[in-house]
Amino acid sequence: MKREVSRELVYRSRQPDNLEGPRQVFDASVTPVEAFFVRNHFDVPEIDAESWRLSVEGNVERPRELGVAELDDFEHQTVRATIECAGNSRAHLGERAQGVPWRDRAIGTAEWGGVPLREVLDEVGLGDEVVELIFVGADRGTLETNDGGQLEMSYARSLPRPKATAEEVLIATHMNGEPLEADHGFPARLVVPGWYGMASVKWLSRIIAVDQRFDGYFQTEDYATWVPEHDLVVRRPVGPMAVKSHIGFPIDGQSITAGEAVVLRGYAWGGRGNIEAVEVSVDGGKSYEPADLAGTNHPFAWRAWEYEWVVPDEPGERILCSRARTGDGEVQPDHHDWRRGAYIVNAVRPVKVVITGE
């Protein structure tokens, strides 16, 4: 599908197109649409809003097909939420990491507007046995299997019932006050605040209520990690975002004048509970001091932070780090856990700056 690509975005792969946001994505609490990253698994489908229908089916009492007009009959709400690709920052892991080589900007925060999913589910009536909801996108394509074969499939993910019926989950039709653009799921997509982006299925076409765990390709083969369970290591789908922080200023490799006072700035997000604290190190992680949380707290959006630093008089390189902690005690780790493969890359990432004379 031909599109106008913002000059602000950076290609990380083509066919399908995957584009990362610009450095300026960390300059604003709400990301402009033209600076919001684009993650595609297949080609962007061409959808006519007049004929588009969303089927709600499976173990429900009153199956329905909803068009744009029917969605408008429901009460709408807006949620500010950060969406981060589960593979964001994997480029820093080196050649061992497989997948789209995202650096740090496969992330953005938007004001998502639409219908609370639970309102639609209440309308159709979920069966008592329902444990998961499957969400199917209109995007479809062919993937190679491990034995060299090919499978044609649609993009599909599921949510456990408690998350699917949470008040923050939306069938979104708007982004930052405007109708969704094609790259972001027009005419309607799922938005799952607090979970990695693979859960927020774009170009939503079907919702299927099921009474058992969904074992689809993007649930088990892709977007899945190894986790310890009952003294075993088992495969489980990627879900909620882990706690993470990022230094937006200064950027890696930037020169800073000796002796001046600068304000380090960035964002922290994800994890179980609100961001409670961010700490900053100016000595490569040997010691940390608290940063100041800035702006307004939104439960599912990143939180800005600042730290004033008097730059040392001695020229040379310095390593800056930031780490975040949630109210539930989840702390950003120092090292990547390779049981996660190239997903959930939330370890503290050093930023090198160069101190120069006046």
- Cα–Cα distance between 248 and 270 in angstroms, integer? 17
Distances (CA, A) of 249 to 105, 160, 265, 321, 350: 14, 38, 5, 11, 12
pLDDT digits (tens, 9 = 90+) for 134-164: 999 999 999 987 788 899 999 999 999 999 9
Mean pLDDT, rounded, for 321-335: 96
Dihedral sign of CA atoms 41, 45, 47, 52 in order: negative
Residue spans of alpha helices (H) in 57-160: 68-72, 117-124
Question: Across the strands, what pairs with 178?
Answer: 175
DSSP state of 185: T
As a whole number, mean pLDDT of residues 320-324 equals 98
Bridge partners (DSSP) of residue 190 are: 171
Q: What integer is the mean pLDDT of 192-211?
A: 98
pLDDT at 3 over 90: no
Asked if residue 151 lies in contact with residue 120, where contact means CB atoms within 8 angstroms, the answer is no
Question: What tens digit of pLDDT does each residue of 253-300 get?
Answer: 999 999 999 999 999 999 888 999 999 999 999 999 999 999 889 999
Per-residue model confidence as pLDDT tens digits over 85-119: 999 999 999 988 999 999 999 999 999 999 999 99
Nearest by Cα to 240 from 79, 76, 24, 86: 86
The 10s digit of each residue's pLDDT in 12-64 is: 999 999 999 999 999 999 999 999 999 999 999 999 999 999 999 999 999 99
CA dist 323 and 288 (Å) reads 9
d(CA 333, CA 329): 12
pLDDT of residue 146: 75
Q: Break the chain down into helix, strand, coil percent, rounded to 5.
A: 10, 40, 45
Average pLDDT score over the chain: 95
Question: How many angstroms separate the CA atoms of 221 and 245, rounded?
Answer: 28
Domains, the chain, with CATH or none: 10-237 (3.90.420.10), 244-356 (2.60.40.650)
The burial class, CB within 10 Å (0-12 / 13-18 / 19+), for 308 is exposed
What pLDDT is recorded for position 144? 86
pLDDT at 2 over 60: no
